[in-house]
Structure 1
């Protein structure tokens, strides 16, 4: 596999993507990034090494406790929504490893490398570090934003994890186990798709607002089908992106330019998802308001009880 790399074009694309994202959202970063007021607890959790999928699950559980205690209210922080989804998926991966896969070493190492990218992002944000990936910043700085639905918050994390972290995790795995071999390890990679197919629909409905659940019922199986397709396409793209980045691994400057462009593309997609969330939420609020107005109008036009009896008496006489 060969690839060409136009450094100027890649850097120009990264800057254009950043400008477009900022046009969609000028939301400033809260003063002093970090998981205030539980910054020190987050440091303690993220500090120990992560070597096994058991380590990953243990950290995710502890992180969930911290996120659920953060402002604005217990279990209302929007980053907590993604972490709970990620914890459940990881537990299913651990179960798959016990059940037997072609190459468990590959799948477990990939899971660990995958998690490390998320843990690194949490740590960078906690340290008020500007190197926090843009795509994670989009979610992290909205932790207190309860106008953002928990469903969309969880999807922002999935977007960051698959469209940014996954290809980097693949490279980290290949660096330890050797160059990628599609025939040997790709089936295990695809196994995760099946876990997503099984877990995403109930999790999506659990995170949804009442209005989103109404839309889900109207869509019927279409939502499940579209999300299965989305998982398939995005994870296939992450694999291909990883293969391309693999060829740049010996050139740190080109590699970082490519990573930054990938990051900013995913962050722009995240901002568009937020725009969609605002539109759906606003529509739902409008529909609920209209329903209340119609009910109130119907109630106001009902004749008093005594008059209704008179009307029935006249009708029967």
Structure 2
């Protein structure tokens, strides 16, 4: 990531995180929750930054959101639970795969995930920025192709807005909004007064909104576009390259974001 990259974590730590990510995709939401908890705890316990470590900060938020989704599945809040569960599994597998790829060969890791992984131990980056970096990677890069992977198991059930799958997909936005409100409050406290008293709250709100509803809608549209075109390996790779370039650009911006301390 050029001049902004911090020294990567130790090889041993990286390898262990890859092991905790599992050597195969998860098969249930409880398994996803378990792996996320282990990754969060290990990253925090082996980093000089503790819970403020980049991977720990993002995985903490991701673990909370996934537990909420699991509770909603158990309580029957979704109209198309088989689709929603498959999407959650495929979504998590993208993050786990990124950790495995980073351990095996850093240079094969998607650029947007490298923004987080390369800089996870930089004490100059606040944990809230790390959390936003991870959400940016997961939604702006991973989500569209997690949808495509889910549809390979559970066929799309029609076009939005009448689709039950789309209804459930939008329902997940509420989960993100609830948890991102916490990030919004932290960002607001950081940006409430910039240098010379300049207001920063607009930037805080923009960041929070950017990585929730707006980009989740874009991910759905991209997934539908690629799926309707046949979702060939070539089409998927081209889409991933484009999404990675966009999300990496956004991630580097979040990492460089000037903070008033």
Q: Give the TM-score range, shorter chain.
A: 0.7 to 0.9
Q: TM-score, normalised by structure 1?
A: 0.71
How far the C-alpha of 1:195 sits from its partner, in A, is 0.9
Deviates more, 1:53-62 or 1:66-75: 66-75
How far apart, CA to CA, are the structure 1 residues paired with 2:36 and 2:211? 25
8 A Cα contact 1:124 1:132, kept in partner: yes
Q: Paired residues, what number? A: 252
TM-score (norm 2): 0.85
In structure 2, what is the equivalent of residue 247 of structure 1? 228
Alignment CA distance shift 1:209-1:72 (3 Å): farther
Deviation, structure 1 residue 150: 1.1
Q: Is the 8 Å Cα contact of residues 34 and 127 (structure 1) preserved in structure 2?
A: no
- Residue deviations 1:134-159, cap 9 Å, x none? 11011110011111111111101111
Per-residue deviation at 1:213?
A: 6.1
Distance change >3 Å, CA 55–CA 108, structure 1 → 2? same
After superposition, where does 1:28-177 map in structure 2 within 5 Å? 28=5, 30=7, 36-47=11-22, 49=24, 50-100=26-76, 101-177=78-154
- Please point out which of 218, 240, 246 is paired with 1:237: 218
RMSD: 2.7
Contact 1:151–1:204 (Cα < 8 Å) also in 2: no
Matched residues in 1 for 2:189 and 2:209: separation? 23
What is the match of residue 18 of structure 1?
none
- Note closer, same or farther for the CA distance 1:221–1:163 as it changes in structure 2 (3 Å cut): closer
Asked if the contact 1:78/1:146 (under 8 Å) is kept, the reply is no
Residues 19-62 of structure 1, C-alpha deviation per residue, up to 9 Å, x if partnerless?
xxx6xx534574xx666333443243222540110010000000
Note the residue ranges of structure 1 that are not aligned, 5 or more in a row: 1-21, 286-317
Aligned partner of residue 75 in structure 1, secondary structure: helix
Uncovered stretches (5+) of structure 2, i.e. residues with no partner: none
The offset of 1:77, in angstroms, is 1.3
> 8 Å contact 1:34–1:125 — kept in the other structure?
no
